[in-house]
Amino acid sequence: MPRIRQRRLRLTSDFDFVEATSDDTTVRPIDQSLQDSSPMTTIGRHPPPARTLPSPNPPASPPGGDASETYKARTTDVIMARYRVQVALGYGRFGTVVRAEDTVTGTLVAVKLLHKGEDLHVDPLWEARIFQKILDGCDRRVSSFARVIQSGTFDGFKCIVLELCQATLYDIIKGYCGLVPLPARHILEMSYQIVDAVSYLHSLGIIHTDIKLDNIAVKCADVTTVKWLDVLTGYHDKRILVTTQICILDLGRAVHAIVPTGNHGRVCCLPYRAPEVNLGMPWSYGVDAFAIGCTLANIYVGDSLMSVDIDSDQEHLASIDKLVGPFPEEYARKINEKYPKMFKFDNGISILWSPERDTSSDASHVETASIHNRSLCDLIRNLMRPNPRDRITLEAATRHQYFDGLNALQLG
Ligand SMILES: Nc1ncnc2c1ncn2[C@@H]1O[C@H](COP(=O)(O)OP(=O)(O)OP(=O)(O)O)[C@@H](O)[C@H]1O
């Protein structure tokens, strides 16, 4: 059977990046940028943008399959008699996300219209319920999650109205917004917010289960231009984000942690999936920690840590082994009890899968060694420990030495 490369269909063409009018090159501490409501961040869509980035991609089309089950954006549609559709923002496995104007308040929102397939088993109220729990926690980190505004039905599609966020980290890292390489300070600030936000979710007993670059967006699309030193070519103008505040998207797959037995089922996108999920073992908060480790590495190296061509569990485990292994012997033996022949122990521990058997992809094509920031590399390795019991908790990760840099002035 031919290998089918599974790729998300997405639209990334409609982010209005506005050139900030102020010439601010000051590095601001993270706590300030988190709460920032300075004039810099309020420069937005009104008046009309001084500069809009060119369309990064040809418009993506809705996924194939039964066309009547997937919502296609039409600018004539007014969802729930209130939200006038402007443009499709993305097509996910579970729904189409559009940007719409709230005809009552005049503000812009995102509306997710769930695909109709009966096999999807998606409850549109679930995302709203999880967000309510986040709200009930009364914590400053509430603002790190896309606000769920309303839910309802339109034309037979169940829909969820959400706070509109801007470019996802996927769009940014892929270079669609002209912002790469990201300044080290921005990587630091974004990393901290991701770890801190999901740590808050964990403190509420909730596991996100779908952390990935596509599900983290920046809140504000304003950019400014600074003088940037390239060691080879000297100074040149570079666009950077004015503020790095991030927003976690897609609470649709969040679950309550089942303690102490652990949760079951296949969660997370394969390149971000922790080994215990692949192995069909019980999993818990560690799946988010592992996915965050992958995400931070992707942000730093600007590429996917695991090959997108990986399509077997064993190949994926071999990638993890190569990246952050070896699997501890005790854990490997435990896995072998359930899946004999997964590991052989004759000459050190190794996974039986071998790249020679499948030459169409590397076991992994990015090494953690390419992460030159040693403390970030250490944080990532701790988040991605093969045995979930060895993995650092997100709460502890917020105190990792990599984040000591938040209090220091960093240039570059
Ligand atoms: N609040 C939002 N603001 C702006 N864009 C959004 C918002 N929510 C989602 N998007 C865009 O739509 C895409 C798909 O959204 P989402 O991940 O919530 O859908 P899904 O069907 O659950 O997808 P997945 O395949 O990731 O499970 C996102 O990757 C993002 O590009």
DSSP 318-348: HHHHHHH-PPPHHHHHHHHHHSTTSEE-BTB
Torsion angle, alpha carbons of 304, 307, 312, 316, to 10: -60
Q: Which among 12, 71, 89, 219 is the best mutation to test ligand 1's pocket, defined by most ligand atoms within 8 Å of the CB?
A: 89
Ligand 1 atom nearest 165 alpha carbon: 3
| Whether pLDDT at 161 is above 60 | yes
Greater confidence (382 vs 66) lies with 382
- Can you tell me the mean pLDDT for 17-26? 38
Rounded to whole angstroms, the Cα distance separating 19 from 108 reads 20
Buried b (16+ CB within 10 A) or exposed e, 371-381: beeeebbbbbb
pLDDT at 6: 35
pLDDT at res. 120: 61
- 250 C-beta closer than 6 A to ligand 1: yes
Pocket of ligand 1 contains residue 146 by CB under 6 Å: yes
pLDDT interval class at 226 (50, 70, 90)? very high
How far, in Å, are 11, 55, 178 from residue 58 at the CA level?
8, 7, 16
Is the separation of the CB atoms in 191 and 294 below 8 Å? Answer: no
What is the number of H-type helices and E-type strands within the chain?
Answer: 11, 15
Tokens representing residue 280 in the block: 């069909």
- Kindly state the percentage of the chain with pLDDT values over 70: 77
Q: Is the CB of 112 under 6 A from ligand 1?
A: yes
d(CA 370, CA 367): 6
Per-residue pLDDT reduced to its tens digit, 280-331? 999 999 999 999 999 999 999 887 777 767 777 778 888 888 888 888 888 8
Strand partners, 96: 91, 113
What are the backbone angles phi and psi of residue 62, rounded to the nearest 5°?
-60, 155
**Per-residue confidence (pLDDT) for residue 121, from 0 to 100:** 63
Instruction: Indicate the range of 61-65, 74-78, 148-152, 351-355 predicted with least confidence.
Output: 61-65
Residue 101 has pLDDT above 90, yes or no: yes
Nearest-atom number in ligand 1 for the CA of 12 is: 31
Beta bridge partners of 153: 158
Q: Is the CB of 28 under 6 A from ligand 1?
A: no
Q: With both helix axes pointing from N to C terminus, report the angle between 184-203 and 286-301 in degrees, rounded to the nearest 10.
A: 170
pLDDT band for position 1 (cuts 50, 70, 90)? very low
What is the mean predicted confidence (pLDDT) over 362-388?
A: 80
- The candidate with the shortest Cα–Cα distance to 271, out of 214, 334, 338, is 214
Q: Is 96 in the pocket of ligand 1 (CB under 6 A)?
A: no
pLDDT of residue 322: 82
In short, whether 90's Cβ falls inside 6 Å of ligand 1 is yes
Q: What is the pTM of this model?
A: 0.83
pLDDT: which is higher, 318 or 192: 192
The three-class DSSP label of residue 38 is coil
Is 133 marked within a binding site? no
Atom of ligand 1 minimally distant from the CA of 164? 3
Q: Which pLDDT belongs to residue 8? A: 35
Q: Is the model more confident about 366 or about 250? A: 250
* Complex ipTM value: 0.96
3 pLDDT higher than 50:
no
Q: Give the range among 36-50, 158-172, 217-231 with minimum mean pLDDT.
A: 36-50
pLDDT score at 237: 93
Q: Could you say which DSSP state residue 408 is in?
A: S
Using the structure block, give the residue that is written with the tokens 């499709």.
88
Burial class (CB in 10 A: 0-12, 13-18, 19+), 35: exposed
List, in sequence order, every residue forming a beta bridge with 263; answer none if it has no partner: 283
Tell me 20's DSSP state. -
- Write out the two tokens for 141: 């980190």
* Stronger pLDDT, 253 or 362, i.e. the higher one: 253
CA dihedral angle for residue 58, residue 64, residue 67, residue 73, rounded to 10 degrees: -30
Q: Are 162 and 112 in contact (CB under 8 A)?
A: yes
Instruction: Tally Cβ neighbours within 10 Å of residue 62.
Output: 17
